[in-house]
Structure 1
Amino acid sequence: MNIKDIAKLSGVSVATVSRVINNQPNVRPEKRELVLSVMADHGYTPNIFARGLNSKSTKSIGILCSELDDINHAKILSLLEKQLREHGFSSFLCCSGEYRPYQREHFEFLMAKQVDAIIEIGSSYGDANDLEVYREVSEQVPLIILNGFVDVPTVYSIRCDERSAICNLVEELYKRNCRHIYYLEDNTTFCAVEKRNGFLEGVNKCNLKATSKCITIPIYSNEILDAQQKIERLIRNGRRIDAILSADDLLAVGALQALNTAGLSIPVVGFNNSDFAFACTPRLTTVDNQREFLCTNAINTLMSLLDGKDAAHHIIVSPKLIEGETFKLQA
Structure 2
Amino acid sequence: MTIYDIAKEAGVSASSVSRVINNKTGVNPEVRKKVQKLLKKYHYTPDAAARGLVSQSSRIIGILIADIRNIHHTDGAYYIERKLAALNYCCVILNTGDDDESRAQAISILEQRRVEGAVLIGSSFQTESVAQAIKRHLNNVPIVMINAFLDAPNIYGVLSDELHGVEACVNLLAEKGRKSLAFVRDCHTPSCELKVEGFRRGIRLLGQTEPWIYDSHGTTAADGKRATLEVLKDHPDVDGIIYSVDLIATGGIRALYDLGIAIPDQVSVIGVDNSIYGEICIPTLTSLDNKTFDSSIAACRILIDCLENRTTTRQMILPSAIVVRESTP
On whether the aligned pair clears a TM of 0.5, the verdict is yes
Give the alignment's TM-score, normalised by structure 2.
0.76
Which residue number in structure 2 is paired with residue 68 of structure 1?
A: 68
Which residue number in structure 1 is paired with residue 216 of structure 2?
A: 217
Given that residues 290 and 319 in structure 2 are in contact (C-alpha distance below 8 angstroms), is that contact kept between their aligned partners in structure 1?
yes
- Tell whether 2:314 aligns with 1:317: no
Which residue number in structure 2 is paired with residue 278 of structure 1?
A: 279
Displacement of 1:97: 2.0
* Runs of at least 5 residues in structure 1 that lack an aligned partner in the other structure: 1-52
CA spacing shift, 1:86–1:125, aligned 2, 3 Å: closer
Displacement of 1:93: 1.7
CA spacing shift, 1:120–1:128, aligned 2, 3 Å: closer
Given that residues 125 and 190 in structure 1 are in contact (C-alpha distance below 8 angstroms), is that contact kept between their aligned partners in structure 2?
no
* Runs of at least 5 residues in structure 2 that lack an aligned partner in the other structure: 1-52
Displacement of 1:158: 0.6
CA spacing shift, 1:217–1:55, aligned 2, 3 Å: farther
Structure with the bigger percentage of helix: 2
Which residue number in structure 2 is paired with residue 10 of structure 1?
A: none
Residue by residue, what CA displacement relative to the aligned partner does 1:257-281 show, whole Å, maximum 9, x if unpaired? 1222223232111111111111111
Q: CA RMSD in A?
A: 2.3
Match of 2:123, SS state, is: coil
Which residue number in structure 1 is paired with residue 189 of structure 2?
A: 189
Residue by residue, what CA displacement relative to the aligned partner does 1:151-185 show, whole Å, maximum 9, x if unpaired? 33431001111111001111232343322111111
Given that residues 101 and 124 in structure 1 are in contact (C-alpha distance below 8 angstroms), is that contact kept between their aligned partners in structure 2?
no
Letter in 2 for 1:252: A
Match of 1:295, SS state, is: helix
Displacement of 1:209: 3.0
Residue by residue, what CA displacement relative to the aligned partner does 1:124-169 show, whole Å, maximum 9, x if unpaired? 3755554333344563100100121223343100111111100111
Letter in 2 for 1:215: Y
Cα distance in 2 between the residues matched to 1:99 and 1:71: 20
Superposition map of 1:38-57 within 5 A: 56-57=56-57
Cα distance in 2 between the residues matched to 1:201 and 1:55: 53
Given that residues 148 and 158 in structure 2 are in contact (C-alpha distance below 8 angstroms), is that contact kept between their aligned partners in structure 1?
yes
Given that residues 61 and 90 in structure 1 are in contact (C-alpha distance below 8 angstroms), is that contact kept between their aligned partners in structure 2?
yes
Given that residues 285 and 325 in structure 1 are in contact (C-alpha distance below 8 angstroms), is that contact kept between their aligned partners in structure 2?
yes
Cα distance in 2 between the residues matched to 1:138 and 1:108: 8
Residue by residue, what CA displacement relative to the aligned partner does 1:92-117 show, whole Å, maximum 9, x if unpaired? 12221226586432211001101100
Cα distance in 2 between the residues matched to 1:168 and 1:280: 23
Given that residues 282 and 325 in structure 1 are in contact (C-alpha distance below 8 angstroms), is that contact kept between their aligned partners in structure 2?
yes
Which has the larger Rg?
2
Match of 1:292, SS state, is: helix
- Tell whether 2:223 aligns with 1:226: yes
Match of 1:179, SS state, is: coil
Which residue number in structure 2 is paired with residue 42 of structure 1?
A: none
Instruction: Provide the identity percentage.
Output: 22
Given that residues 135 and 155 in structure 1 are in contact (C-alpha distance below 8 angstroms), is that contact kept between their aligned partners in structure 2?
no
Cα distance in 2 between the residues matched to 1:270 and 1:318: 16
Given that residues 248 and 271 in structure 1 are in contact (C-alpha distance below 8 angstroms), is that contact kept between their aligned partners in structure 2?
yes
Cα distance in 2 between the residues matched to 1:208 and 1:137: 48
Which residue number in structure 2 is paired with residue 307 of structure 1?
A: 308
Cα distance in 2 between the residues matched to 1:133 and 1:100: 10
Displacement of 1:252: 0.8
Given that residues 144 and 303 in structure 2 are in contact (C-alpha distance below 8 angstroms), is that contact kept between their aligned partners in structure 1?
yes
Which residue number in structure 1 is paired with residue 255 of structure 2?
A: 258
Match of 1:240, SS state, is: coil
Superposition map of 1:9-158 within 5 A: 56-98=56-98, 103-124=103-124, 126=126, 128-137=128-137, 139-158=139-158
Aligned residues: 273
Which residue number in structure 2 is paired with residue 242 of structure 1?
A: 239
Letter in 2 for 1:284: L
Residue by residue, what CA displacement relative to the aligned partner does 1:41-66 show, whole Å, maximum 9, x if unpaired? xxxxxxxxxxxx99711111011111
Letter in 1 for 2:82: K
CA spacing shift, 1:207–1:217, aligned 2, 3 Å: same
Give the alignment's TM-score, normalised by structure 1.
0.76
Letter in 2 for 1:271: V
Residue by residue, what CA displacement relative to the aligned partner does 1:169-223 show, whole Å, maximum 9, x if unpaired? 112323433221111111122211211121122223333232x411101126xx2
